[in-house]
Structure 1
């Protein structure tokens, strides 16, 4: 059975996806930001194989999680679920001098993808708010603009679509797709979210393990197991590569190098 890693899986959709996959008989490794969250996660889902610990809000933390992941053995699929939401009231700067939201939502999946042993499948969590995102990288760290949490989040979720599609182009041997789980009532989504919470983890779990022909595709975007369109710029190779090159400059690791 497939061996799956899910980042940001101490609660919310990540934990729900883990429960779903374990219930189907798959082997799942979880990830938590710190040791306290990891202990809680082990307690609420003892059937998980392991819990990796590391703060994805710093480059060193991301590298640590990648090292732990490779030490655990090769994964068949990775679901990049970890993320910061759109309600952030101000720009938070990381120890690396970068936007925390950009680091967790974009650089973490980028750098983990670049550093980890290549799995068969990669799934990147995006959002319907990606449709309002801007692919312009001239101030992606929000150092020159007045902070707008909703716009920064929307941009980051569009970048996740670009990341999934860029990886699909450069690494044709891996199935790389993005997912919008819907606006659901998690801690991030808020109690008034209107979408079906039960459907929130289904598509990413399906893309990670299913043998259905519809799931064995690459460079696609999904909502509730159906393909969904994305902004036209997300399909442009030069826009995808601009993001990959930008992340490479920030991390010192290129995802475009041959694997």
Structure 2
């Protein structure tokens, strides 16, 4: 049995990763803030798949929460072979109307936590000569808009750079860039999604299946849908000023 640790595991993409990995026979460490919800999820995964599911309640917007997950990743007696950094959230409103403490909280979760947890995992994995890290970003990383897009862009660039540094060590790193996914993400941020076309929505389980295939192929960047691959390709050809104006029209709805 190998073990995978998933942050933001109780809903959406994180829950889909937990289901997929448990189905494949991996023990899982489920990380989120809601301990009761984590315990329910752990019981369901154990009963359905016969795997061990550990619960780790931690708030990654705090140093104590990040440190708790770092300690688990570094535990030599219980090695983690796959880390999925999925925890994240969106804001209601646009810059500069979002309160500064919320902006800094986003950077803490999307950037600092990803940096620290990836580092904790990669150091141990490098010593063992194997392991993998999936850092969940967003197609918003390719759109110049606000702190959310900027933080997700950082996730992509950090992951690609770290993957180069770890090449040949047996440690695989991949940035996952989904588009709109039917999860709790938007309702939690009180975002209006009524005008988003149906074709733009992705299924979380299908997205995770595609991401796992990309990880197995050794890819460092995964945009797991032809529609969003096309959109990200266009973003490389169009001037950033035009993309920014277009994204202004979409407003705060452009989130994963």
TM-score if structure 1 supplies the norm length? 0.69
Q: Deviations over 1:6-31 (max 9, x none)?
A: 11101111011111121222222211
- Aligned to 2:185, the other structure's residue is in SS state coil
Q: Following the alignment from structure 2 to structure 1, what is the Cα–Cα distance between the partners of residues 69 and 186?
A: 26
- After superposition, the Cα gap between the structure-2 partners of 1:52 and 1:205, relative to the gap in structure 1 and judged at 3 Å, is farther
Q: How large is the RMSD of aligned CA atoms in angstroms?
A: 2.8
2:78 pairs with one of 73, 79, 85: 73
Q: How does 1:169-184 map to 2 (within 5 A)?
A: 169-172=164-167, 173=169, 174-184=171-181
In the alignment, what sits opposite 2:114? 109
Matched, 1:129 2:131: no
Aligned positions, number:
206
1:91 to 84, 96, 99: 99
- Unaligned runs of 5+ residues in structure 2 are 188-192, 237-256
Q: Is the 8 A contact 1:80 1:122 kept in 2?
A: yes
Cα–Cα, structure 1 residues 113 and 14, in superposed 2: closer, same or farther, change >3 Å? same
Q: Distance in 1 between matches of 2:107 and 2:37?
A: 22
What does the per-residue CA deviation read over 1:12-65, in whole Å, with 9 as the maximum and x for residues that have no partner?
Answer: 110111111212222222112242332343344335521222110012210111
CA distance in 1, matches of 2:206, 2:90: 19
Aligned to 2:149: 154
Q: Secondary structure at the match of 1:9?
A: coil
Q: CA deviation at 1:122?
A: 1.1
The question of whether the paired residues in 1 share the 8 Å contact of 2:214 and 2:222 is answered with no
Matched, 1:33 2:41: no
| Structure 1 alignment gaps of length 5 or more | 134-149, 233-259
Asked whether the 8 Å contact 2:159–2:175 carries over to 1, the reply is yes
Aligned to 1:138: none
Asked if structure 1 preserves the Cα contact closer than 8 Å seen for 2:45 and 2:53, the reply is no
Q: Retained in 2: the 8 A contact 1:106–1:156?
A: yes
Instruction: Return the TM-score normalized by structure 2.
Output: 0.70
Q: Deviations over 1:124-171 (max 9, x none)?
A: 1111111114xxxxxxxxxxxxxxxx6111001101101101211222
1:200 aligns with 2:207: yes
User: CA separation in 1, counterparts of 2:159 and 2:176?
Assistant: 10
Tell me if the contact between 1:5 and 1:30 (Cα under 8 Å) persists in the aligned partners: yes
